[in-house]
Amino acid sequence: MLRSTLLKLSESKGFANWVTTNGTTRRMARRFVAGETLDEAIAAARQCNDAGMHASLDYLGENVATISDAQHSRDAYLEIFECIAEERLHANVSGKLTQLGLDINIEFCEGLARSIVERAASFDNFLRIDMEGSAYTQRTIDLVKRVRARNPAIGTVIQSYLYRSEKDVTDLLAVGCRIRLCKGAYKETVDVAYPRKVDVDANFVHLMKMLLSSGFYHGIATHDPRMIAATIRHAAAQQISKDDFEFQMLYGVRTDLQRRLVNDGYRVRIYIPFGRDWFPYFMRRLAERPANLGFLLRNFFRK
C-alpha cells in the first residue's frame, strides 16, 4: 500500500516540483544520489574503488520526449566512458532505453544504444541496460539482443517479480548475454508480477541458480541478506569461484553489507546514480524503505 502510494506519487508533477526544490528532500536524496555532476559521480566511484569495490555510473533520466533530449543523453554516456578511461576507474555504465528515446522511436533508440556500446567496446568497457516497467520488458530484451549480436559489450537486467523472467533468462543465456538479477522496483499488476514478497524472493533464488550455473559472468543485485546468503551457499556447493560473479548494490544502501562482502573476498559493484533528473529514482528508493515515507509526507503536507 505504502509502496504503491510512493510509486504513484513518482508520476506526479506537483510532487516532483516540491521534492526537487525543497531543501530537506534534496538533502535526503543525496543519500541515494552521488550528485548532479559527472565530477561528483567520478569522486564517488573513486571512493568505491579505494574501498575495493567496482562502480557502475548511471546518468539519471528516463522517458525523454524529444529527439534532442535523447541525443543529449547519448552524448552524456559517451563522455562518461571517456572519463572512466581517463581516470582509470574500475567502473562500467548503466542506462535506460527510455532515456535514449524508446518512447519516441525504437530504431532511433537502437542507433543511439549502438553508438554507446561501440564507445564502451573501444575502451574494453561495458554498458548495462537497466530494466524499466513491464511495458518495456520485451522491447528491451529484443533490442539488447540485436545490439549484442554485433557487439557483446552490452547486457541487461532481469526482475524476479515478473512471472515471465525464467523464460527471459533462458532466452538471454542462449545468446550468452550477461544479466543483472534484481527483484524489481516498479509498480506492476498481479497479471504480470508476483504480489507476495515470498514468491519474489523464491523466484530470485531460482533465477540466481540459473545464472551462476550458466558459466557466464553475472551480477546479483540485492541488499537482502537472505538472498546474499543463498547465493554464497549455492556458489560454494557448486564450486563456483568468487571471481565468476559479482554482488551489486545501490549507492548509499547497506554500506555495512557492502564492506563485509568485500572483506570476505567477494566482488562488489556499486550502482552510482547522478544527474539533475533524480526524482523518479529517489521515489523508487523511498518506496523500498517505508521508514522514510512518514518523514517525507509530513513535510509535504506542512508546506
Ligand X SMILES: Cc1cc2nc3c(=O)[nH]c(=O)nc-3n(C[C@H](O)[C@H](O)[C@H](O)COP(=O)(O)OP(=O)(O)OC[C@H]3O[C@@H](n4cnc5c(N)ncnc54)[C@H](O)[C@@H]3O)c2cc1C
Footprint on this chain of ligand X (rule: CB under 6 A): 130-131, 157, 159, 182-186, 221-224, 227, 248-250, 253-254, 271, 285, 288-289
Helix (H) and strand (E) counts in the chain? 13, 8
Q: Is 159 helix (H, G, I), strand (E, B) or coil?
A: strand
Q: Between 55 and 76, name the residue whose CB sits nearer to ligand X.
A: 55
Q: What residues pair up with 180 in beta bridges, in sequence order?
A: 157, 219
Which of these is catalytic: 128, 148, 178, 180? 180
| Closest approach of ligand X to the CB of residue 227, in Å | 6
**DSSP letter at 66?**
S
Which of these is catalytic: 130, 168, 201, 277? 130
Q: Between 137 and 214, name the residue whose CB sits nearer to ligand X.
A: 137
Q: Would you call 299 exposed, middle or buried from its count of C-beta atoms within 10 A (0-12, 13-18, 19+)?
A: middle
Strand segments, DSSP code E, in the chain are: 54-59, 91-95, 127-129, 154-159, 179-182, 218-221, 245-250, 268-274
- Give how far Cα 293 sits from Cα of 49, 236, 284, 300, Å: 32, 38, 11, 11
Q: Between 190 and 303, name the residue whose CB sits nearer to ligand X.
A: 190
**Residue whose entry in the numeric block shows the C-alpha cell 557492502:** 258
- Length, in residues, of the chain: 303
Distance CA 4, CA 195 (A): 12
128 flagged as catalytic: no
Q: Is 43 helix (H, G, I), strand (E, B) or coil?
A: helix
Contact 85, 125 (CB under 8 A): yes
Q: What residues pair up with 271 in beta bridges, in sequence order?
A: 56, 250
Distance CA 239, CA 235 (A): 6
Q: Is 177 helix (H, G, I), strand (E, B) or coil?
A: coil
| Closest approach of ligand X to the CB of residue 239, in Å | 25
69 flagged as catalytic: no
Q: Between 159 and 231, name the residue whose CB sits nearer to ligand X.
A: 159
Q: Which residues contact 41 (CB under 8 A, 6 or more apart)?
A: 34, 35, 57, 80, 272, 273, 274
Which sequence positions are flagged as catalytic? 130, 180
